[in-house]
Amino acid sequence: MQFDVIVIGSGIGGLVTATQLAAIGAEVLVLERYLIPGGSAGSFDREGYRFDVGASMIFGFGQNGTTNLLTRALEAVNVSLEVIPDPVQIHYHLPNDLNLKVDRDYEKFLQNLIAYFPHERQGIRRFYDECWKVFNCLNSMDLLSLEEPRYLLRQFFQHPLECLGLVKYLPQNVGDVARTYIKDQQLLKFIDMECYCWSVVPADMTPTINAGMVFSDRHYGGVNYPKGGVGQIAQKLVEGLVRFGGKIQYQARVTKIIIENKKAVGVQLANGQIYHAQRIVSNATRWDTFENLLPKQEIPYVEKKWQQRYQKSPSFLSLHMGVKASVLPNETECHHILLEEWEKMADPEGTVFVSIPTLLDPSLAPTGYHIIHTFTPHWFADWQGFSASEYEAKKEEAAGRIINRLERIIPGLDAGLDYLEVGTPRTHRRFLGREDGTYGPIPRRKLWGLLGMPFNRTAIPRLYCVGDSTFPGQGLNAVAFSGFACAHRIAVDLGFSG
């Protein structure tokens, strides 16, 4: 069968590409290896609880500007989703009693931070105001393919100052910007954590463009939780895709991208089925795309170069818990970050991430109970080579250590446990189809901001990549951006639009 476009994978990057193309009349087929859509943004049900696989702090659901890409992606295929505003992005529990809430209100957040570092009052404001400048540039223009010269030209004539602003920020990292305004070492460590908790690298390796988005949008469109669980975003996109004539097939694991005359022309599934299309899009990671779906020995030179600049980040150890509501202290927030020693921020089991989405949407758990999803970085290599019983024992020990640490912010957690499921890097690899269960690419060393992240076209004609191993990186709103850009580039290449 011949399609205009085949998308391998139904993560948010893949689904945004597919829906954008279906909406303009392209014949699109999405092939998903698992039973449900969403990838790292899926949800699963257990014993009356609905858990999010990964993401739960969601940007991109604002109503204004152009950076609200999840709202826009759903609207493009005539579907919508009720979202619940989160009044606090994160409650940080950090070393030296730095116990701080990032309020949705910008001024309130600044005042909370200034209360800890009054001598840096001016530096704090100047640093975060600079992030707003980045955001305002992005939020004034349509976010489409930077590989499309006519679009770039159009944007330049319509928004010359904003474009020049972005060109200035593109090669910068947050650490350098922060040090221009801030001298206090503790405060700089806090900025490291502000970056690490979504980029999984410190400020020196985090591109300023991404930080501009996160540090400002949390006070603009805000963090919003989709009612019914994060998996609803993918479910709604699939509904829209089908409404516009697109197709999706589950349990359809692509094992090979078919190349003819050096061009990508189709895919082969694990069951031997073959599909052809004019364009092939891979929503799998770059490592999976170029080392597993294509012959590893023929990896293109530009991909080899990319791998010299970027490496796989660690995966996570995840605990999905159902707990008695009585264990949560009054005024507990939805998202928490816990770290006891700054030196351990990027270590395995250093930083602990916590999400309690039932505080926003109680329908995700039986009455009288909450869900808690907590996760912490772990390397795939540390989970290999065990017998089944050793693996189970190691999971139990690791879960015990995390629960002990969480008792500091949720006293009585262990005693209040009703349900516990532990996922390891092996689980992430198995269910998300991501090599080594990685969260995504991270720089091997300090790079020039976002300049090294590849766009959607690849060295192989007619093959595109979308998702977190393309510009601008990890996070749902970021992969949605990548999806908009990928669909735009393909639409132009196929003659659907200019």
Ligand X SMILES: Cc1cc2nc3c(=O)[nH]c(=O)nc-3n(C[C@H](O)[C@H](O)[C@H](O)COP(=O)(O)OP(=O)(O)OC[C@H]3O[C@@H](n4cnc5c(N)ncnc54)[C@H](O)[C@@H]3O)c2cc1C
Binding site for ligand X (CB under 6 A): 8-14, 31-34, 39-41, 54-58, 253-254, 283-284, 288, 316, 318, 375, 432-434, 439-440, 467-468, 474-476, 479
Please identify, using beta-carbon distances, which residue of 2 and 273 lies nearer to ligand X: 273
Residue 252 near residue 33, CB atoms below 8 Å: yes
The CA-to-CA distance between both ends of the chain, in Å, stands at 27
Helix, strand and coil percent figures for the chain, each rounded to 5: 40, 25, 35
Q: Whole-angstrom Cα distance, residue 221 to residue 480? A: 15
Distance of alpha carbon 77 from alpha carbon 28, whole angstroms: 14
Q: Is 213 exposed, middle or buried (0-12, 13-18, 19+ CB in 10 A)?
A: buried
Nearer to ligand X, 8 or 406 (CB): 8
Minimum gap (Å) between residue 58 Cβ and ligand X: 6
495: number of Cβ within 10 Å:
7
Task: Indicate the residue among 25 and 85 with the shorter CB distance to ligand X.
Answer: 85
Can you name the residues that pair with 8 across neighbouring β-strands?
A: 31, 282
Asked whether the CA dihedral 427, 431, 432, 434 is positive or negative, the reply is: positive
CB of 286 to ligand X, least distance (A): 10
Closest contact distance (angstroms) between CB of 183 and ligand X is 31
Kind of pairing between the strands at 49-52 and 43-46: antiparallel
Long-range contacts from 95-99, C-beta under 8 angstroms, 24+ separation: 95/189, 95/339, 95/340, 95/341, 95/342, 96/186, 98/186, 98/190
| Closest distance of CB 494 from ligand X, Å | 21
Distance CA 77, CA 498 (A): 20
CB-nearer residue toward ligand X: 208 or 318: 318
Minimum CB separation of residue 274 from ligand X in Å reads 14
Which is nearer to ligand X, 229 or 475 (by Cβ)? Answer: 475
Name which of 182 and 479 has its Cβ closer to ligand X.
479
The CB-of-395 to ligand X minimum distance in angstroms stands at 16
Closest CA to 139 of 198, 89, 72: 72
**Least distance to ligand X, CB of residue 453, Å:** 13
Residue 187 or 406: the one with the smaller Cβ distance to ligand X is 406
Nearer Cβ to ligand X (12/203): 12
Taking the complex as a whole, the smallest distance from the CB of residue 207 to ligand X amounts, in Å, to 15
For residue 415, with 0-12 CB atoms within 10 Å meaning exposed, 13-18 middle and 19 or more buried, which class applies? Answer: exposed
| DSSP conformational letter for 457 | B
* Nearer to ligand X (CB atom), residue 175 or residue 440: 440
Shortest distance, position 153 Cβ to ligand X, whole Å: 29
C-alpha radius of gyration, the chain, whole number = 22
